[in-house]
Structure 1
Amino acid sequence: MPMQPPVRIGARGSRLSLAQAGMMQRRIAEALGADPKDAERVAPLIVITTSGDRIQDRRLLEVGGKGLFTKEIEEAMLDGRIDCAVHSMKDMPAVLPPGLAIAAVPEREDPRDAFISHIAQRIEDLPPGARIGTASLRRQAQCLHHRPDLEVVMMRGNVDTRLAKLEAGEADAILLALSGLNRLGMGDLPASLLDPVERPPAPGQGALAIETRAGDADAPWVRALRHAPTAVAVAAERGAMAALEASCRTPIGAHAVLTADRVRLIVEALSPDGRLRFRREGEAALGAEPEAAARALGFELGAAVAREGGEAIKLPD
């Protein structure tokens, strides 16, 4: 029997990316039948700096969109320098380069947004004119929809950088994904959590995407990482994203919940200034092909939001 060659894992160099990749490294090593202490030998981590990591002074929408977090890693995979990549699902564009696939979606962490502040427990409790830090157009629009008096401060960087900026007084509050905080062992930091029904998170938030070359997408070690309920929920949310042609220029949120043999989905898009909000809710039976049914529901609801919102939900060029 030929030996399984090492599975080289590409990841960004941030602390969160390495924590997420490390979780998957241990899972992949186990799937390959290796002892945990041999994880680095059978599934080595390869750190790759992306354009999204290098450019920190502007919003992603100004410099090319969320693909900046995946471009160099995907090039390394197509070149044969790595065999898979561990991404935050919310960073994944709707369309992947030819020859690559999202091969596995592991079990999801909590998808909610976390509110962190030293002066308030909730967004609603912030004083008039308070500054809230985020680089997300969705979070900006959702905040301004409920609190048009707030000042949104553009704040990019990794989790530690944003927390340091909060401590330095650059904002009165910040919003971060709870999943990332939990994976870093910092889940006790939030003052409160945002209701995912009232303020739906980014499509796929809280989930990881294991990306491989298309020819490796059904390898046994890949199949061992899959979590079917998470894949179905993410398919619904990304179906909405595809219908809305969502990029960093379109503030949209989506939240799917599975109950028995059905999926329920909330989709919303807002004008960038938060003044207008367009929402659709629906559910569908999952049937024999759950992911396809969920994706179809997402696309249907997303298309309805797109028709109603039109140009109002897109940031002008």
Structure 2
Amino acid sequence: MIAVKIVALFLLPTCTTNALSSIRIGTRPSKLAMVQAKKIQQLLHDAIQANDSTSSPIRSEIVPIDAAGDNNSPVAASQDVPLAMKTVDFTGALDDALTDGTIDVAVHSLKDIPPSNRWKDDLVIGSYSEREDPLDVLVSDECSTLAGLPKNARVGSASIRRQAQLLSHRPDVKVVSIRGNVIARLAALERGDVDALILAAAGLERLSRSESNDSISLPYHRIDADDVLPGVGQGIIAAVCRKDDHKTLSLLNFVDNRTSRITAVAERAFLNVVDTMEHEWPGRPPCAAYMSRDDKGYLFRGVLLTPNGTKKVETSLRIPIKCSTSEAFGLGTKAGRELREKAGTSFFVGAG
């Protein structure tokens, strides 16, 4: 369902404006998604102005489109081990709108984009934003660490990755599958449905910096990557377009961050490999990958777990700073294959 359009004008450089009179930027209508779409819109405006301030202005429109993941019940039914075995689709409606030509660009949190083998063949990630804080956070009034959670605490999350890593450290906690957008999850905590939440730091920080920051009143505390490794692409905003839309691809190139592209390509290559492992539930297996940059180059870390956190395999690899995207892809693929081999064919048997 397409909602109200928010319109802004910006200038496109001469090299991309041939037969291009407007660009429609699709997003989910949630507060966080709108903040992210406006960020991409502003990045495009600023980058284009810096490259060419003489070309004719064209119109950019932000087009909100409802996503299935926003419409799920905020709190799912309890289970003995209430893991998020059901997929949450935050991207499908937007991707469909791209394919049928309703929009020209879809703005996604990169972590929400499915692995390549389960994504649309006609779409491509045209730009990656500069990565913000990739870590997860514990949202709680009462405690600041996983170790500090009360015994049998109810912790909300819709992410099988977060749930598996949490249970690996704290098998006593009761994981409650919280669905819906970030605001809905925060509301569930305030109602007392759960004792704490685990969310992405970047999303909360983007909301806090937005004009509508009154919804972030609860304290949150960063979780070290040694305890909960971030999700693939977490902290990066992806701008997606059709592969054959060369004018839009050229435009998105102005706001593409090379470091983010290198790390994202490696992390998604890892995901593509481990996602093919046989498991007994829909969606991706509980896996995490994070590639960071330091003075020695890039450090890639990957982990694969069973949903209940009782089994875990992990790896770490390095690559020089001056690497290509193809080399980054090769690194991520190698890491995925390494964990697939370590896990063996029976890793997930009986885990779902």
- TM-score, normalised to structure 1's length? 0.89
Q: How many residues align?
A: 309
Worse overlay, 303-312 or 233-242: 303-312
Aligned to 1:231: 261
In structure 1, what is the equivalent of residue 41 of structure 2? 25
Equivalent residue, structure 2, for 1:4:
20
1:70-103 Cα shifts (integer Å, max 9, x gaps) = 2221121111111011000000012231221111
Does the C-alpha gap of structure 1 residues 190 and 207 become closer, same or farther in structure 2, counting only changes over 3 Å?
farther
Corresponding residue of 2:97 = 76
The CA distance in 1 between the partners of 2:48 and 2:321, in whole Å, is 32
Give the direction of change, closer, same or farther, for the CA distance of 1:126–1:261 in structure 2 (3 Å limit). Answer: closer
How high is the sequence identity, in percent, across the aligned residues? 32
Q: How much has 1:159 moved relative to structure 2?
A: 1.3
CA distance in 2, matches of 1:314, 1:138: 18
- 1:217 and 1:60 map into 2 onto residues whose CA distance is 38
Specify which of 272, 279, 285 is matched with residue 242 of structure 1.
272
Equivalent in the alignment of 1:144: 167
Matched, 1:266 2:289: no
Structure 1 residue 312 displacement after superposition: 2.5
Among candidates 191, 199, 203, match of residue 228 of structure 2: 199
Equivalent in the alignment of 2:202: 179
Structure 1 residues 178-187 or 272-281, which shifts more? 178-187
Report the CA distance between 1:292 and its aligned residue.
1.4
CA RMSD between the two structures: 2.5
Q: Distance in 2 between matches of 1:77 and 1:261?
A: 40
Partner residue, 2:136:
113
Residue type matched to 1:213 in 2?
A: R
2:338 to 280, 290, 304: 304
Q: Aligned equivalents of 1:69 and 1:160: distance in 2?
A: 15
In proportion to residue count, which structure has more helix? 1
Mapped to 2, the partners of 1:19 and 1:81 lie a distance apart of 21
Q: Distance in 2 between matches of 1:184 and 1:315?
A: 39
Say yes or no: does 1:167 pair with 2:201. Answer: no
Q: Deviations over 1:262-286 (max 9, x none)?
A: 3211100111111111101111235
Q: Which position in structure 2 is the counterpart of 1:53?
A: 70
Give the Cα–Cα distance (whole angstroms) in 1 for the partners of residues 170 and 192 of structure 2.
20
Q: Output one character per residue of 1:187-211: Cα deviation in whole Å (capped at 9) or x when no partner.
A: 8844421112332111000101110
SS of the residue 1:17 aligns to: helix
Measure, in 1, the Cα distance between the counterparts of 2:312 and 2:68: 32
- Residue 339 of structure 2 aligns with an amino acid whose one-letter code is V
Q: Structure 1: how far apart are the matches of 2:350 and 2:321?
A: 34
SS of the equivalent of 1:80 reads coil
Shift of 1:313: 4.2
Quick one: distance in 2 between partners of 1:152 and 1:29?
43
Q: Which residue does 1:44 correspond to in 2?
A: 61
Residue-by-residue CA offset, 1:43-63 (whole Å, 9 max, x unaligned) = 10111112222233658743x
Instruction: Verify the 8 A CA contact 1:16 1:184 in the aligned structure 2.
Output: yes
Deviation at 1:163, TM superposition (A): 1.1
1:232–1:134: structure 2 CA closer, same or farther, 3 Å change rule?
Answer: same
Structure 2 stretches of 5 or more lacking a match? 1-13, 77-82, 277-281
**Does the CA-based 8 Å contact 1:262-1:284 persist in structure 2?**
yes
- Aligned AA for 2:267? E
> Hey, what's the Cα distance between the residues in 2 that align with 1:315 and 1:269?
16
Deviation at 1:291, TM superposition (A): 1.5
* Residue identity opposite 1:89 in structure 2: L
> What amino acid is aligned across from residue 105 of structure 2 in structure 1?
C
Q: What's the TM-score once normalised by structure 2's chain length?
A: 0.81
CA distance in 1, matches of 2:221, 2:46: 36
| Cα 1:107–1:165 shift into 2, 3 Å | same
Consecutive unaligned residues in structure 1, runs of 5 or more:
none
